[in-house]
Structure 1
Amino acid sequence: MRIALYNLTTTTKIGGVESFVWDLARELAQRGHAVDILGGVGNRRETAPGVRVLTFPFISRRFWQAFPLLRRAYAEAKLLERLTMAVAALPTLVREKYQIIHLQKPYDLAPALLARRLSGARVILGCHGEDFYRGDTWLARRVDAAVSCSRFNAQTIAGRYGFMPEVVFNGIDTSLFRPQPPDPTLRERLGVSSTVPLLLFVGRLQPWKGVETAIRALCHIDQAILVIAGDGEDRPRLAAIARELGVSERVRFLGSVPRQHLPALYATVDLLLATSYASETFGIGPVEAQACGLPVVATRFGGFPEVVAEGQTGLLVPPRDPAALAAAVNSLLSDPARRAALAAAAPAWAAQFAWPAVVDRIEAVYRAVLQTN
C-alpha cells in the first residue's frame, strides 16, 4: 500500500501522538508498505528506516492567537495553523496518488477529503483526543473509516460524530521497553541512597497532567523522591509549589529525557505515577513502564483504566486527590512482596500493546476501506 501519515506536529514536537506516527511509519515500512510522513517544517530530525519524510511551511498558532478574537480560541488557532500547512501540502497529497491518507487530528479533515476527491485516496481519521471545532462534525462523517486509541476516546468520538471508531490501542516497542537491570548510576546522580523510594512521573509538564497532585502527595509519603522526566510550561509553577510545601529537595526535574533512555529509568525507580485529570485518552507512559516491569499508580481517568490492570499491575486512584495518591503509594512501598507481584505481572499484560498486534489491526482497517467502492 502507498500510505501518507499526515500530521503537522509529527516533525515539530515530541509527544504521544507524534511518537505513535513515527513508530507506525516504521512498522508499516518494515511490512513492505510505501510510507510517507507529511508534517510541518521544524527542528525535529528523527528518521524512520524506509520512510520518506516531507515537510511543509505553516503559520504557527501563536501568530493567530495574537489577534484579540483568537486569543482564547485555541481550537480555531490550531485549525488555522493546520490549514496554512495544507495550502503547501495539498499538491503533494494529490500528486503522490496515495491509497491511504491517515490523519491524527480532525483539523486536517478538509485538505484530506479534498485530496480524496482529486486522487481517489481513502481517508482514515485517527482519534486521540477532543480536538473539536465548529464544522468538524460535517467533515468527520465523510471519512472512509476512523480508529480510536481507547474505548474511552471512542465513546467521546461517537457522542460527537455519531459513529463508533474501531478501537486500536497505541503501540509500544517491546524490544526497547522490556525488563532490564537497574541503572546503578541513577541514584548516584540523584544523590540518594538505595533505601530511599523513587517515584517517577514521565510526560509533558502541563497543568492537566496533574503533577501538582504528585508533589502535594509527597507531604504524606516519608522520604520518597519524585523524579520528573519531562518539560513544559508548567515547570516553574510546579517548582514554586514544591518550595511552598517544603519538599523541593525531594523533587528532581530531569527535563526532557530521550525515549531510548526511559527503560533505564523505569528499571531503577520503585513506582510510576500517572496523575492526569484531563485530555488523557490512552496513557503511553504507563504501558511502557509496565512493559519494563514497573508497577503504576494512576488516576481513574480517561484511558488509564484500560491500560492499567487494577490490582494486577498497578492501582487506580481518584484524580486530583493527593491523600488518595499518597495512600496508594504508601500501601505499595510498605509491601515489597505485593509490589514485586505487580511488577512480575506487568510485562505480560503490556504485551497486548506491542506493535505487531497494533499494526495487524490498522492494516485490517486499511484493507477494508480499499475493498469498498
Structure 2
Amino acid sequence: MRIALYNLTTTTKIGGVESFVWDLARELVKRGHAVDILGGVGTRRETTGARVFTFPFISRRFWQALPPLRRAYAEAKLLERLTMAIAALPTLVRGNYQIIHLQKPYDLLPALLARRLSGAKVILGCHGEDFYRGDRWLARHVDAAVSCSRFNAQTIAGRYGFTPEVVFNGIDTSLFRPQPPDPTRRTRWGLPTDRPLLLFVGRLQPWKGVETAIRALSYIPHTHLIIAGDGEDRERLATIATELGLHERVTFLGSVPRQQLPDLYAAVDILVATSYASETFGIGPVEAQACGLPVVASRFGGFPEVVADGHTGLLVPPRDPPALAEAINTLLRDPDRRAAMAAAAPAWAAQFAWPAVVDRIEAVYRAVVGETVRAR
C-alpha cells in the first residue's frame, strides 16, 4: 500500500505527535508498505525506511505578529499549514497514494483536494483539540478517523459527530523495557544517590503542571525532583523552586534524547505526570511503565487509560500539590507495593506496543481501500 504521512511538524520539532509519525512510518515500512513522510523544511530526520519530502512554509510566528492574529492561535496555525500545502499539493496529488494520513485537522483542505484529484483515501489522525472555524464541514468528508485515546475520541465525537477508531499511540518495547541494575547509574546522570528520586519527562509548558510537582516537594521530605525536558516554562519553574526554597531539590536536565530515557527511568523511583489540560494520551507514563517504573499521574485526559490506578501507579486530582504528595509518600513508605507496581507495569504497557497499534491502524487503512485484513 502507498501511504503518505502528512504533518508539517514531523520534520521541524520534537514532540509526541512527531515521534508517533516517525515510529508509525518505520513500522509500516517493516510490513512492506511504501511510505512517504511529508513535512515542513526542517532538520529532524530519523531512519525509518520511508522517503522524506519537505516543503517551505510561513511560520505561525509571522502570522501571530500581525495585529488581527495576535491572539488567534488556531488561525495562525491554520495559515502556517496552508502555506506548506501550496508547495506540497503537487506531491500529494502525483504520489499515487492509496492513503493520506493526517495528524491535524488543519491539513484537511489540501488532503481532501488531493483526494478529489487523485482518488486517495483520507484518514484523520486525532491527537488533541486543534479546532477552527470551518473544520466541522471539512471533517465530514474524511474516509475514516483514528484517535490516540477514548478520551480524545469522545472529544472528536462531540465536535464532528462521528467517533474515531481508538488505536492509541505506540511505544517501542525493544527500547522501552526494564534495564539491568547498575549502581553507577545515578552518578553517571549526576543525580543524588542518597534519597528517593521523582522524575518528570516532557515539554515545559504551563499546562503540563510541573509547578504542581515542584510545590508538592514541600510535603515530601528528603526527596529530589528530576525534570527532563525543555520549553517556555523552564525559567518560571526555576523561579518558583527558588522562591519556595526548593532549588537544591530540583534538577533540570534539559531535553534528553529518547534513546537515553530507559536508562533515566531506571535511575529513579517514581514518574510524575501532572498535566491538567491538552493531554489526550500520555506517552511518557506508558514508556516509563514499559521500563518497570511506577507512575503517579493526574486524573485527567488520557492518563486514566494509560495508568492502571492501584495496579501500576496512582491517579490524583490535577493541580493539587498536597494530593500529589500524599500519593507519592504512600508509595515511598511502602517499597513492597512500589515493587509490585514496577513488576506489573511492563505487561500492562505491552498493549501499547507498536505491533498492536499498527494492527489497528492497518485494519482501518484496509477497510477504507476495500482490502481484506490479512491474519498475522
Deviation at 1:188, TM superposition (A): 1.9
Instruction: Write the distance in 1 (CA, Å) between the matches of 2:181 and 2:224.
Output: 17
| Aligned counterparts of 1:215 and 1:357: Cα–Cα separation in 2 | 36
Amino acid aligned to 1:39: G
Greater Cα offset, 183-192 or 143-152: 183-192
- Residue in 1 aligned with 2:346? 347
Partner of 2:271, secondary structure, is strand
How far residue 193 of structure 1 moved from its aligned partner, in angstroms, is 4.7
Measure, in 2, the Cα distance between the counterparts of 1:191 and 1:342.
26
Distance in 1, matches of 2:339 and 2:166, equals 31
Q: Provide the C-alpha distance between the structure 2 equivalents of 1:277 and 1:360, rounded to a whole number of angstroms.
A: 31
- Give, in whole Å, the separation in 2 of the partners of 1:184 and 1:58: 48
Instruction: Show structure 1 runs of 4+ deviating over 4 A.
Output: 189-193
The superposition leaves residues 204-233 of structure 1 with CA deviations (integer Å, 9 ceiling, x where unpaired) of: 000000000000000111111100110000
Q: How many residues align?
A: 371
Equivalence map 1:1-373=2 (5 Å): 1-48=1-48, 50-189=49-188, 193-371=192-370
Letter in 2 for 1:77: A
Give, in angstroms, the shift of residue 191 of structure 1. 5.2
Shift of 1:371: 1.2
Aligned-partner SS, 2:325: helix
CA contact (8 A) 1:183 1:265 kept: no
Structure-2 change in CA distance of 1:366 and 1:190 (3 Å): closer
Is the CA contact 1:226–1:250 (under 8 Å) kept in the aligned structure 2? yes
User: Identity rate of aligned residues, in percent?
Assistant: 85
> Secondary structure of 1:159's partner?
helix
Specify the SS of the correspondent of 2:173.
Answer: coil
Q: TM-score, normalised by structure 1?
A: 0.98
Aligned 8 A contact 2:282 2:303 in 1: yes
Would you say the 8 A contact 1:183–1:264 is kept in 2?
A: no
Q: How far apart are residue 185 of structure 1 and its match? A: 3.7
The residue identity in structure 1 corresponding to 2:174 is S
Report the RMSD for the aligned CA atoms in angstroms.
1.0
State the 1:183 CA deviation: 4.7
Aligned equivalents of 2:226 and 2:335: distance in 1?
20
1:192 Cα offset (Å):
5.0
Provide the rounded CA distance (Å) in 2 between the counterparts of 1:197 and 1:183.
Answer: 16
Deviations 1:331-358 (A, max 9, x none): 0001000000000000000000000010
Deviation per CA, 1:244-297: give whole Å up to 9, x if none: 000001111000000000000111100000000000000000000000000000
Q: Please give the alpha-carbon distance, in whole angstroms, between the structure 1 residues aligned to 2:192 and 2:114.
A: 59
Question: How much does 1:182 deviate?
Answer: 4.2
- Structure 2: tracts of 5 or more residues without a match: 372-376
Q: What secondary structure is seen at the aligned counterpart in 2 of 1:53?
A: strand
Gaps of at least 5 residues in structure 1 are: none
- One-letter amino acid of the structure 1 residue matched with residue 51 of structure 2: R
Q: Partner amino acid for 2:150? A: R
Q: Deviations over 1:175-205 (max 9, x none)?
A: 0000012454442256555330000000000
**What residue in structure 1 maps to residue 374 of structure 2?**
none
SS of the residue 1:204 aligns to = coil
